[in-house]
Amino acid sequence: MGWLSGDWKERVLHLLLPRTCGACGRDLPCTLQGPLCGPCLSGLELIRPPYCPRCGMAGRAQTSCRRCASLPPATPVTRAAFRYRGPLPPLLHAFKYGGRLDAGRALGDWMAGAWRRHPELGRPDALVPVPLHPARLAERGFNQARVLAERVSSAAGAPVAELAARRRRTPPQAQRAREERLGRMSGAFRAEPSARGLRLVLVDDAMTSGETLAACASALREAGAADVKAFVLTRA
């Protein structure tokens, strides 16, 4: 009967519903909390200085990168928590497309820890998750940016506020020419009048070209937001 003592409930649950690592697929022991095995967890890479003080691009001197110097970004400060490599891409995919909400909660908690490394994000009045189009939200069942923002909220000392909405569904941006991306994202968002006068931080899962963040930030500024910065889980 020794097998039934102590953590027997967890052992039975593990046998019935075995948990796997969200990155490599290995079975996780019932005593391990979180969505990653030990080796994958140690493979996560925080983005550390030096980085561009505007867009947060890693590996740059602590002056504006060439792109930001030639075309200032829509958000004066953008920061990303992790590099997009190692276990992060498959874990993020498992969260967004595999329904691994446990992965989303863990990613949000790790983002919250990274927030504390970036005092330049300030003390916002609210965190604004980048919205999904209603059709995409219905397909997925949740907005990944909202899940992350809710976990970061306590560290930021700010509530989550749905102050932006998508007017139309837009295709993925990463593999399109910059001019085409700008054209497709123009007017893609609308912002609530209640954004007026607020200091806001946009929250999203990933930044590739930055045009989605730029379009959403522009809509919030047009609605009268006093300041719009951005904090993302990762950037390509």
Cβ atoms of residues 173 and 182 within 8 Å: no
10 belongs to a structural domain:
no
CA separation for the pair 12, 137 (Å, rounded)? 34
pLDDT digits (tens, 9 = 90+) for 30-56: 778 899 999 999 999 999 999 989 999
Query: Residue 54's closest CA among 70, 40, 32, 39?
Result: 70
For residue 64, tell me if it sits in a domain: yes
Q: What is the pLDDT of residue 12?
A: 46
Beta bridge partners of 199: 227
- Per the CB < 8 A criterion, the answer to whether 230 and 75 are in contact is yes
Number of separate domains in the chain: 1
Tell me the pLDDT tens digit for each residue of 165-186. 998 877 665 455 554 555 568 7
| Spatial distance between the Cα atoms of 172 and 236, rounded to a whole number of angstroms | 14
pLDDT top residue among 19 and 114: 114
In a domain, 117, yes or no: yes
CATH number for the domain spanning 192: value is: 3.40.50.2020
In a domain, 53, yes or no: yes
Is position 130 within any domain?
Answer: yes
Q: Does 32 fall in a domain?
A: no
Domain range enclosing 138: 46-235
Averaged over 94-99, what is the pLDDT?
95
For residues 102 and 28, is the Cβ–Cβ distance under 8 A? no
> Residue 177 domain-assigned?
yes
Closest CA to 76 of 120, 131, 113: 120
Task: For residue 144, tell me if it sits in a domain.
Answer: yes
With H, G, I as helix, E, B as strand and everything else as coil, classify residue 2.
helix
Please report the pLDDT score of residue 15 as a whole number: 47
